[in-house]
Amino acid sequence: MKIINKILILSFAAILFSSCLKDLDTLPLNTTDFTSENAYANEENYLKALSYINGYYMLVGQDDPGNNDLGFSDSGQSEFLRQWFNLNEMTCDGLKCVWGDSYLTELQHDSWGTGSNDALVAVYTRAVKAIALANEFLLQTTDSKLDARGQSGIKGEIAGYRAEARFHRAMFFYVLMDEFGNPPFPMPENIGGENPSRITRADLFKWLETELLDLGSDNSAMPAKGAVPYPRPTKGSVWALLSRMYLNAEVYTGTARWQDAKDAAQKVIEMGYTLAPKYSDMFRQDNTENGSAEKEFIFAIAYDRVSTQSWGGTSTFASASLSEDANLKLGAEFGLPKINGENWAGYHVPDDYVARFDLNGVVWGSKTNVFGYDRATSDKRAFFTNYGSTKEFDGNKVSTGWMCWKFCGLDSKDKLAQQDGVPGNWKLSSADMPVFRLAEMYLNYAEADARLNGGTVKDSKALEYVKELRNRAGVPMPTTIRLEWLLDERAREFMWEGHRRVDLIRFGKFTDVNYPWTLKGGILNGKIAIPSYRTIFPIIQSDLSSNSNLIQNEGY
Amino acid sequence: MNRFLSFIVGLIGLFLIIPDMSAQNGYEIRGTVTDKTGQPVIGATVLEKGTTNGLSTDIDGNYTLKVSSADAVVEVSCIGYKTVTFVAKTNPAKVVIEEDTMYLDDVVVIGYGSVKKSDMTGSVTAINAEEVNRGAVTSPSSMLLGKVSGLNITPANGQPGASSTIRIRGAASLTASNDPLIVIDGVPVTKDGGAGMGDPLATVNPNDIESYSVLKDASATAIYGSRASNGVIIITTKKGSGKGIHVSYSGSVSAKQNRDVIKMMNSDQFFNYIQEHRPEAVGLLGVDGTMYDTDWQKQIYRIGINTDHNISLYSGGVVPFRVSMGYNLDQATIKVGDNQRGNIDVSLSPKFFDDHLSINLNAKGVYQHTNWANNPVESALSFDPTKPIYFTDADGNIDKSVISNGYWNWISAGVPNTMAAANPLSSVYDYVNYGHTYRGVGNLQIDYKVHGLEALRANLNLGMDIAKTNGTKYNEIGSRGSLTSAPDLYEKYQNFNKNMLLEAYLDYNETWGKHNFNAMAGYSWQHNYIKYENSQYYNNDRATEYHIAPVNAKEYYLISFFGRLNYNYDSRYLFTFTARGDASSRFSPSNRWGFFPAAAFAWNIANEEFLKENRTVSALKFRLGWGRTGQQDIGDDYYPYIARYYESASVTMQYPMGADGKSYNLLSPLAYNPNIKWETTETYNVGLDFGFLNDRITGTVEAYYRNTFDLLNNISIPLGSNFGKQVISNIGSMVNKGIELSANFVPVETKDWNWKIGGNITFQDVKITKLTNSDETYLGVETGPSMGANVGFSSLHRKGFAPYTYYMYQQLYDAEGKPVQNAFVDRNGDGKINADDRYMTGCSATPWAYYGISTQVRYKNWDFGINGHGSIGAELVNKVALGYSSSYSDNWTKGYIDNLCAKWLLPGWHAPNSENQKYSDLWIEDATFFKIDDINLGYTFNMKNNLKLRLAGSVQNVFTFTKYSGLDPEINNIDGVDNYVYPRPRLYTLRLNITF
């Protein structure tokens, strides 16, 4: 009996304890989950991975525009493009906001600290993460990896993808160099490895120049214009970025590169881009369908209210400015109920910026003239209304200064582009956002020429380029074109396209006490110098704490 | 359902075939059984020894029994009393039975076994689920409220089915779960039980609960190893008992009413205020010049009804069994929101082979149906009181043809104004959201005492916990919600949880003289599987697919070996050693195993010679304990160490990469941490249990020190080295220390009178002692919700402070001590107010003390009780007050206007609150409170034939004493930000119990 018991107990124990310690090696169960080993088994997945990198300028995550991967409670505000826009416009004269969000107030008062300003966190974090995504893509797409996966046949196609990934990496590095000066420098070997090292602004410029010249060279795998569908980057994008970099080279490295800026711009111009015939078409909901984007945009960020959704980007730029009243009144002007799905009544433009436009018959307080000026005879790049507002700016009031509807819910036929396809999506925008467009190459070319010629444009081609832009805007061409005028022309041509900060810094106006604007430095009349250390932003606190290779920028 | 019922009836029928003890001709005995105070003992068993001939005493303690002969030996026994025997012919008129001190220190259920209270070395509090002194109990956690030192329960908000927050000795973790492990009849239950079952305790019907054991210190919990860092609550349900078949019914009906609302301006007040202070917006008031007067809070609230019926059948016959069925309907005080629960509980506990083989089968089934309104609490405060409820036509009838199904809503250009809040009644009636959950928890426990080696026991426990939820969510067609959703969806979802358990252990007992040994060793295997399915359709036809999410499933395994050694010498010196090795599939093979040892020592001073005969000191025990426990419940990611790629299936987040704008799904590597490992908590405990004057005064004093290291939290990673902003990491350590006092006192104990007072208090202190970054300037981990509508954080985890310490601007005050709007102290003196001027306020939602107090008086058949609990020193951020602090609003420029609350408007605050103002320390308020949880009165009727009937009435959530200006100083948010709580109502309950 006892022996039987012992045998029973032993076998009982043996059965139990042998039951699978192997259970612990469980792997993800979902069909949407992969490990890096099997993620690329399907060849289409290379394009899907590249899609995420390419879209990371506007994507806040993978699943839902209301759910972001940065842990921001408002996903729209975690978007890279929206905050990049705020950093470059709200710190300057073309954009103020009355919502009272402290991070926006810090930007428009030029008083940001080293704490966690949300715009800085979003731009910095997303730029570095995008670089890491590109690095991982480059690690996973080497020839040897393709061979190992038995996919040697697609090496040619993948080479182009790799070049695109490198372009995006360069683009995000450019943003880091421009905004943060001396950022971390993650390379593929840093993934799962050592902390990324720090790179100085001048060294990053050097690295970027080498990288972009390689991508832009004739025998590089980077697709030429037209070789990949819009809005993917091409060699045009590479040279457009080089042109912008060279134009600001003196700011970044201390050495001016005007001739290189001019040559790079010329190289892009010669690739066959043309100006969109109608300026407003470029910012309308159908800017892809109406053809203007493909004509003029060299590199753009796509939005689609059905399939490429975001609560940031052009959805924000369209919704953020108008008040309810102005929205309804503008709508009536077009024979529509309104022109935007939503009216957030926050983004305002002080009069000192708007005054740069040729506006005829400006009136304030009119109940009949919705725009506050005579649109038909004014600069066609002006999309303003002062309906219900006062001229004197008051940051604590909503009804102050101008509202801007350059971005709006209308399409190129002045119809409300809403409710097509998905009911309810009309709050979101389908307008793509240009990063580089031909007009910039024209004005880069002209400015570089003026810089090379003592401050006045001499090159006849440059004059022709400027004239094309003036004609499109329906405004006369000045007799001489000087540098200061070009700065103003850029303010008109590129209003709310994220150029303003870098332009003001390049012209030395950002810090200059003699170049005031409303609320500059937090002073209403803006007559104040901004310390030069504020021409770059601080490295964000959390990364400084986690990565000991980083050093805070001087002055912060 | 019918088939199910007939099955139950059949099952019951099966057990009715129990040998009937027909009366025999013989010697009749009769008498009364009383305790030493002369109080009759009801339900004492009078049994002819060696037979099954016996009965229970009636309500007066009387019995009449025919025994076989005058020489038969009669045994009188009752749980908690010493057994008395006498020979039938000596039949005393009055049998006095004495309380059994062995039973006074009841047997307490601990992990993998039970122990006599006097032999316990760890910190364990046992609570019997008493019938008396309670009102309507819809959740098992409410029975523990305020009853156990070191156990802090924040009751659920007023929403039926909402979960309460249970903390044993404070939170030991930052990101990982802080919920205690709940073990029901040997089955650890999952927290995520499905819709309306957020509280793991909600699985069990409170009426089926026999007792709770709350395991607090590591020496008690370490046997549960990996899941026990936050303490353990063991629930034992009732089993079959008694002679013959008994039926017990308990039922209650309660009316629930909100105790308080926030007083908003009425129509007149609001009109006058706007006319005076914001004349531009007057045009928005009323409808075409007519001012209505709508009290929106009155519109959305109602008196809710809660009814509860339970019936159980039980017997302690050959196959002891208990079958119970319950039904509960719990209505919200908001007009939509009901929770209905039906449950059945079957327990069989037969024994075979001379009690060598015991089998315990427990099966619980719950069906729950819950529906929810689209929370209108916030909009009911803010909605314009000058507006009518409905759009009306010329005749004054509700005009449903107007947009948003006839409910008055702000309209802009023919569509609802999406910036404005919805009409609160739209949110209540025009939104459909319901779910039903089926859950089954069951286990089979086989316990075998080895023949020939009776000291050895083998125990096998097979358990499972399965839950399935189906839910549906949509807006009514034409409703405001439908018109403003982008896109408007009809959503169906299904969750499935399966938790399987296999445990086996061997237990060996040996006594040599005064040396008592007990050794136990076992093995445990657990598998947890969760699956979510979600299908979305366009709401207009509810058939066209919008997005059918791929099935999302995940699982983890836990495998453990454990053992315990108890040794005591003469019940005076007691030692316990436990060890558990746990492996979790959530960690990489190199970090997979955690080892969790514990040791405890107790000195039972009362059993020493010098105290044995002492009449003053009836119990005295000193306890010391140390142990380590682990934590692997680190959030939603079951595979945090694996480098993974995720391909989204979203149709709204694609990127146009192909020809003709063809969009592609997104494939991305995910953030991961290959080095993630166990979070470990080390606990030291010292305690003294005492009892004086024959245990008229009993109590415990304890002190604990808990150090959690390798603390799991989401922290910022060096960007560029991984794919996220944050990744879960083992980052630091945190110390929890505290002193607990609990005492029970019986001032009066006579035949007619009995008065008990109980109380407990816990003093605690929590501090983060280390964060991974050694940099002294390290800000800490940003946490706590945004105070505005947008991005932001309200608190930090920082070294030297309690978790979730508010990180705010310091409000500037004028000479009269009034706060100045949008003005703050420039703390770093750089002439600028920016994020660098925020400071650690030292305030958090963690109280420094919490306590519970209860008293119960019995006079003859009457009983009366009061229970209360409170907390001292917690501070909350009153976000609701912030929302109504300034009279400024630019909403009118967006086409609508919101109501104001006079009590929170601050003088001189006429500008918009800046974002910084929202993060001001001004909003921090002391939330010290004392609550009277319930007052109850009951009467037990004297009935013949073992019939027991009790009628009771109670009021619950009676009163709150506090200076806090918000609705309720007790909130469930760990971060302490009070943001439009669903009010906890007051309940008036009538309760009936019948047993026969």
pLDDT in tens, B55-66: 878 777 888 888
Across B68-72, B113-117, B686-690, the highest mean pLDDT is recorded for B686-690
Of B655, B890, B912, the CB nearest to A55: B655
Pick from B310, B344, B313: nearest CA to B241: B313
Look at the block and give the residue holding tokens 């107010």. Answer: B833
User: B2 vs B894, which has greater pLDDT?
Assistant: B894
Residues of A in contact with B413 (CB under 8 A): 327-328, 331, 337-338
Interchain proximity B719–A546, CB inside 8 Å: yes
Res. B520: pLDDT tops 90 = yes
Q: How far is A132 from chain B (nearest CA, A)?
A: 5
Interchain proximity B645–A547, CB inside 8 Å: no
Which of these ranges, A521-525, B157-161, B540-544, B710-714, has the smallest mean pLDDT? Answer: B157-161
Which of these ranges, A353-357, B41-45, B514-518, B980-984, has the smallest mean pLDDT? Answer: B41-45
Q: What is the mean pLDDT of chain A?
A: 92
Which of these ranges, A52-61, A247-256, B945-954, has the smallest mean pLDDT? Answer: B945-954
What is the pLDDT at residue A15?
Answer: 57
What is the pLDDT at residue B943?
Answer: 76
- Average pLDDT for A336-359: 92
pLDDT digits (tens, 9 = 90+) for B675-691: 899 999 999 999 999 99
Q: A545, A548, A552: which to substitute to probe chain B, counting the most B Cβ within 10 Å? A: A545
Tokens of B288: 């075409």
What is the pLDDT at residue B444?
Answer: 94
Q: A7, A27, A33: which to substitute to probe chain B, counting the most B Cβ within 10 Å? A: A33
pLDDT digits (tens, 9 = 90+) for B149-170: 888 888 888 888 777 888 888 8
φ, ψ at A206 (rounded to 5°) = -60, -45
- Integer Cα distance of B871 and A293 in angstroms: 63
Tokens of B125: 């509090």
Of B648, B777, B836, the CB nearest to A63: B648
Interchain proximity A48–B660, CB inside 8 Å: no
- Sign (positive/negative) of CA torsion A366, A371, A376, A378? positive
The percent of residues in chain A predicted with pLDDT above 70, rounded, is: 94
Q: How far is A79 from chain B (nearest CA, A)?
A: 12
Q: How far is B479 from chain A (nearest CA, A)?
A: 13
- Integer Cα distance of A24 and A17 in angstroms: 14
Residues of A in contact with B778 (CB under 8 A): 545
The answer to whether the beta carbons of residues B626 and B685 sit under 8 Å apart is: yes
pLDDT digits (tens, 9 = 90+) for A432-460: 999 999 999 999 999 999 999 999 999 99
Got the DSSP string for B478-541?
TSHHHHHSSS-EEEEEEEEEEEEEEEEEEEEEEEETTEEEEEEEEEEEEEEEEEEEEEEEETTT
- Integer Cα distance of B801 and B143 in angstroms: 33
Across A409-418, B91-100, B963-972, the highest mean pLDDT is recorded for B963-972
Is the backbone peptide bond immediately before B388 cis, with ω within 30 degrees of 0? no
Res. A367: pLDDT tops 90 = no
Res. B79: pLDDT tops 70 = no
SS3 A296: helix
What is the pLDDT at residue A1?
Answer: 46
What is the pLDDT at residue A425?
Answer: 60
Of A30, A125, A196, the CB nearest to B721: A196
Instruction: Identify the band that residue A11 occupies on the pLDDT scale cut at 50, 70 and 90.
Output: low
pLDDT digits (tens, 9 = 90+) for A257-279: 999 999 999 999 999 999 999 99
Of A28, A70, A543, the CB nearest to B644: A28
What is the pLDDT at residue B260?
Answer: 85
What is the pLDDT at residue B43?
Answer: 72
- Alpha helical stretches, state H, A114-200: 118-140, 143-148, 155-180
Res. A163: pLDDT tops 60 = yes
Instruction: Identify the band that residue A230 occupies on the pLDDT scale cut at 50, 70 and 90.
Output: very high
Nearest CA in chain B to A72: B791
Tokens of B818: 């009034």
Q: B539, B587, B647, B727: which to substitute to probe chain A, counting the most A Cβ within 10 Å? A: B647
Residue type (1 letter), B600:
A
Interchain proximity B654–A307, CB inside 8 Å: yes
What is the pLDDT at residue A298?
Answer: 98
Interchain proximity A47–B639, CB inside 8 Å: no
CA geometry: angle B692, B694, B696, nearest 5 deg: 65
Residues of B in contact with A192 (CB under 8 A): 643, 674, 721-722
- Average pLDDT for B210-222: 86
- Average pLDDT for B496-521: 92
Residues of B in contact with A20 (CB under 8 A): 525
Residues of A in contact with B226 (CB under 8 A): none
Pick from A318, A329, A321: nearest CA to A287: A318
Instruction: Identify the band that residue B103 occupies on the pLDDT scale cut at 50, 70 and 90.
Output: very low
The dihedral formed by the CA atoms of A111, A113, A115 and A119, expressed in degrees to the nearest 10: 50
What is the pLDDT at residue B19?
Answer: 37
The answer to whether the beta carbons of residues B170 and B213 sit under 8 Å apart is: no
- Integer Cα distance of B503 and B516 in angstroms: 26
Pick from A524, A340, A69, A500: nearest CA to B417: A340
- Integer Cα distance of A457 and A462 in angstroms: 7
Res. A307: pLDDT tops 70 = yes
pLDDT digits (tens, 9 = 90+) for A82-108: 999 999 999 999 999 988 777 898 899
Question: From the CA atom positions of chain A, what is the Rg in Å?
Answer: 26
What is the pLDDT at residue B105?
Answer: 54
Residues of B in contact with A313 (CB under 8 A): none
Instruction: Identify the band that residue B7 occupies on the pLDDT scale cut at 50, 70 and 90.
Output: very low
- Integer Cα distance of B324 and B128 in angstroms: 19
Tokens of B104: 């006074």
Q: Kindly give the pairing relationship between strand B181-184 and strand B232-237.
A: parallel
What is the pLDDT at residue B844?
Answer: 95
pLDDT digits (tens, 9 = 90+) for B566-600: 999 988 999 999 999 999 999 999 999 999 999 99
Q: What is the mean pLDDT of chain B?
A: 87
What is the pLDDT at residue B92?
Answer: 82
Res. B453: pLDDT tops 50 = yes
Q: A18, A48, A336: which to substitute to probe chain B, counting the most B Cβ within 10 Å? A: A48
Instruction: Identify the band that residue A8 occupies on the pLDDT scale cut at 50, 70 and 90.
Output: low
Interchain proximity B644–A128, CB inside 8 Å: no
Residues of B in contact with A388 (CB under 8 A): 893
Instruction: Identify the band that residue A51 occupies on the pLDDT scale cut at 50, 70 and 90.
Output: very high
- Integer Cα distance of B389 and B404 in angstroms: 12
Instruction: Identify the band that residue B789 occupies on the pLDDT scale cut at 50, 70 and 90.
Output: low
The answer to whether the beta carbons of residues B462 and B363 sit under 8 Å apart is: no
What is the pLDDT at residue B3?
Answer: 42
User: A169 vs B887, which has greater pLDDT?
Assistant: A169
What is the pLDDT at residue B23?
Answer: 40
